[in-house]
């Protein structure tokens, strides 16, 4: 329970159906830690797991009559989500902390706690669907009814064991329907706006976060300044640090030529940011590692799927085939724009999530 409309409505629905429900909120990040650092807000409200959100969740639990607990997972969150987030940016990649949080916290540590306290299933407010395939004996993760709210992109890393103990009650509903239900259940948070950003980066300014976090743990921001180069290798300028850039970025390059320039690639080791024109942003192939397969046990032969390379991206037709262990090669029918290392590539067969991995 995040204190938001989705998870609150799930709790209310399940309770109304007569299930034995316990509400859990994960305390993931001490919102006070970085307050006061330059650029970081003093009081943080309305972020996932802020005191206000916990209050909201607790009130919902009380309204629907279920026990409610806040579980402290700060240490694990810092280790498995925040630190990798920082390291990825410093290596020139663009991370997805929500994917890591799902893999390591929500559907791992939290699921363990849920089962330890006697629960059979963990229910969340994710817009996704789960179905058991009797033929293959596998749990299938599928896109929800409301494609606009589809969160399966962040759930590609879930295992069969995890999916077997999970339910997504909102999979068949649209957001307006969910809000309607929340009103029906008389939940105070029915009109609460959705939280869109990363829960531990207030205001979405990840650069300030990197500064503040590293300062707080007593490290300094490493110097990754270096050269701005063209795809031919010509040096055309300088940059102040690779973490300031993401593939496809146009602003903040500091050089002006006749044509608009975009970040094509970030070469972490060489501390180089490769820039080029819009055409150069397109590519047909990508490689992922740490592949997780859901609908199938293994990728023994090439498979035709649609692939999402970003949360906001229409799945594009491609062929996937296994590479070295854990790696998958993806070849698109049409070139895709701004393939970004650090993001996830998630494979779909119609509405079914075949699996996915992290883009190299």
Q: Which residues bind another protein (CB under 8 A)?
A: 22, 25, 27, 49, 51, 54, 58, 67, 69-72, 74, 112-113, 115-118
Least distance to another protein, CB of residue 45, Å? 13
Q: How many residues does the chain have?
A: 360
Q: How far is the CB of 116 from another protein (least distance, A)?
A: 5
| CA 305 to the chain's CA centroid | 21
Which 3 state secondary structure label does DSSP give 207? helix
* Positive/negative CA dihedral, 357, 194, 313, 200: negative
Respond yes or no: is residue 306 known to be catalytic. Answer: no
The answer for residues whose C-beta is within 8 angstroms of residue 87's C-beta and 6 or more apart is none
What contacts 295, CB < 8 A, 6 or more positions away? 133, 136, 138, 140, 141, 349, 352, 353, 354, 355
Q: Measured from the CB of residue 72, what is the shortest distance to another protein in angstroms?
A: 4
- Judged by beta carbon, residue 19 or residue 58, the one nearer another protein is 58
What's the N-to-C CA distance of the chain in angstroms?
A: 33
199 is catalytic: yes
Residue 259 to residues 32, 143, 237, 249, 279, Cα–Cα distance (Å): 44, 39, 15, 14, 11
Which of the following is catalytic: 48, 49, 98, 199? 199
In the complex, least distance from residue 24 CB atom to another protein, rounded to whole angstroms: 8
Of 112 and 164, nearer to another protein (C-beta) is 112
Which CB, 2 or 328, lies closer to another protein?
Answer: 2
Q: Is the dihedral of CA 27, 29, 33, 39 positive or negative?
A: negative
| Residue with Cβ nearer another protein (32 or 147) | 32
Catalytic residue among 48, 49, 101, 306: 101
Positions marked active-site: 101, 199
């Amino acid at each position: 329970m995040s204190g938001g409309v989705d998870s609150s409505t799930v709790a209310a629905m399940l309770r109304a159906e007569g299930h034995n429900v316990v509400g859990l909120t994960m305390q993931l990040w001490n919102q006070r830690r970085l307050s006061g650092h330059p650029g970081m807000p003093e009081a943080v409200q309305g972020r996932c797991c802020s005191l206000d959100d916990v209050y909201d969740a607790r009130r919902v639990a009380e309204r629907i009559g279920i026990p409610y607990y806040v579980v402290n997972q700060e240490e694990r969150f810092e280790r498995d989500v925040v630190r990798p987030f920082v390291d990825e940016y410093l290596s020139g990649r663009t991370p997805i902390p929500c994917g890591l949080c799902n893999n390591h916290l929500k559907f791992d540590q939290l699921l363990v706690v849920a089962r330890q306290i006697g629960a059979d299933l963990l229910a969340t407010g994710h817009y996704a669907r789960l179905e058991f395939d009797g033929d293959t004996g596998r749990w299938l993760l599928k896109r929800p009814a409301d494609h606009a709210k589809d969160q399966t992109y962040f759930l590609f890393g879930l295992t069969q064991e995890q999916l077997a103990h999970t339910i997504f009650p909102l999979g068949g509903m649209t957001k307006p329907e969910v809000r309607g239900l929340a009103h029906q259940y008389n939940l105070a948070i029915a009109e609460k706006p959705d939280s869109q950003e990363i829960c531990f980066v207030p205001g979405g300014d990840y650069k300030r976060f990197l500064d503040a976090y590293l300062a707080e743990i007593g490290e300094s921001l490493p110097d990754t300044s270096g050269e701005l180069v063209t795809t031919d290798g010509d040096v055309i300028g300088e940059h102040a640090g690779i973490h300031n850039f993401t593939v496809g970025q146009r602003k903040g390059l500091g050089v002006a030529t006749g044509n608009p320039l975009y970040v094509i690639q970030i070469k972490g080791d060489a501390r180089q940011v490769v820039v080029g024109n819009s055409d150069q942003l397109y590519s047909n192939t990508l490689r992922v590692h740490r592949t997780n397969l859901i609908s199938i046990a293994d990728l023994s032969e090439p498979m035709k799927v649609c692939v999402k390379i970003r949360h906001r991206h229409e799945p594009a037709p491609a062929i996937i085939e296994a590479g070295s262990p854990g790696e998958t090669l993806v070849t698109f029918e049409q070139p895709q724009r701004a393939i970004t290392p650090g993001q996830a590539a998630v494979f779909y067969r119609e509405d079914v999530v075949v699996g996915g991995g992290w883009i190299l």
